[in-house]
Amino acid sequence: MQMGDSSAAPGTSLNYGGRGAKAASSPAENYQLARRRTLQVVVSALLTESGFESAEKAAVETLTEMMQSYITEIGRCAKTYCEHTARSVPTLSDTVVTLIEMGFNVDTLPVYAKRSQRMVITAPPVTNAPVTPKSLSAGQKRTHPSHIPCHFPEFPDPHTYIKTPTFREPVSDYQVVREKAATQRRDVERALTRFMAKTGETQSLFKDDVSAFPLIAARPSAIPYLSALLPSELELQSLEETDSSEQDDQTDSENAAGNVINDDPSADKENSVLPPSGVVPSAKVSEDNVIDNPYLRPVKKPKVRRKK
Q: Could you tell me which of 20, 105, 28, 36 has the C-alpha nearest to residue 71?
A: 36
Among positions 239-268, residues that touch another protein (CB under 8 A) are 239, 242-243, 246, 250, 254-255, 257-258, 260-263, 265
Judged by beta carbon, residue 91 or residue 250, the one nearer another protein is 250
Q: How far is the CB of 169 from another protein (least distance, A)?
A: 19
**Window contacting another protein (CB under 8 A); options: 40-48, 75-83, 134-142, 206-214:** 206-214
Q: How far is the CB of 303 from another protein (least distance, A)?
A: 8
Contacts of 91 (CB under 8 A, 6+ apart): 82
Q: How far is the CB of 170 from another protein (least distance, A)?
A: 17
**Window contacting another protein (CB under 8 A); options: 70-78, 92-100, 107-115, 220-228:** 220-228
- Size, binding site for another protein by CB under 8 A: 80
Judged by beta carbon, residue 121 or residue 280, the one nearer another protein is 280
Q: How far is the CB of 298 from another protein (least distance, A)?
A: 8
How many degrees, rounded to 5, is the angle at CA 27 between CA 23 and CA 30?
A: 60
Instruction: Collapse the DSSP code of 12 into the 3-class scheme (helix H, G, I; strand E, B; otherwise coil) and give the result.
Output: helix
Contact 52, 7 (CB under 8 A): no
Q: How far is the CB of 178 from another protein (least distance, A)?
A: 5
Judged by beta carbon, residue 58 or residue 280, the one nearer another protein is 280
Report the b/e string of 178-209 with b at 16+ CB within 10 A.
eeeeeeeeeeeeeeeeeeebeeeeeeeeeeee
Strands 202-203, 215-216: pairing is antiparallel
Judged by beta carbon, residue 2 or residue 251, the one nearer another protein is 251
Judged by beta carbon, residue 116 or residue 227, the one nearer another protein is 227
Judged by beta carbon, residue 162 or residue 212, the one nearer another protein is 212
What's the DSSP call for residue 226?
H
Judged by beta carbon, residue 159 or residue 185, the one nearer another protein is 185
Backbone CA torsion sign across 279, 283, 288, 291 = negative
What's the DSSP call for residue 31?
H
**Window contacting another protein (CB under 8 A); options: 77-85, 94-102, 129-137, 282-290:** 282-290
Interface residue with another protein, options 65, 196, 198, 271 (CB under 8 A)? 196
Q: How far is the CB of 168 from another protein (least distance, A)?
A: 22
3-state secondary structure 241-261: HHHHHCCCCCCCHHHHHHHHH
Half-sphere CA count of 134, side-chain side, radius 13 A: 4
Contact 232, 238 (CB under 8 A): no
Interface residue with another protein, options 222, 248, 283, 286 (CB under 8 A)? 222
Instruction: Collapse the DSSP code of 86 into the 3-class scheme (helix H, G, I; strand E, B; otherwise coil) and give the result.
Output: coil
Judged by beta carbon, residue 80 or residue 193, the one nearer another protein is 193
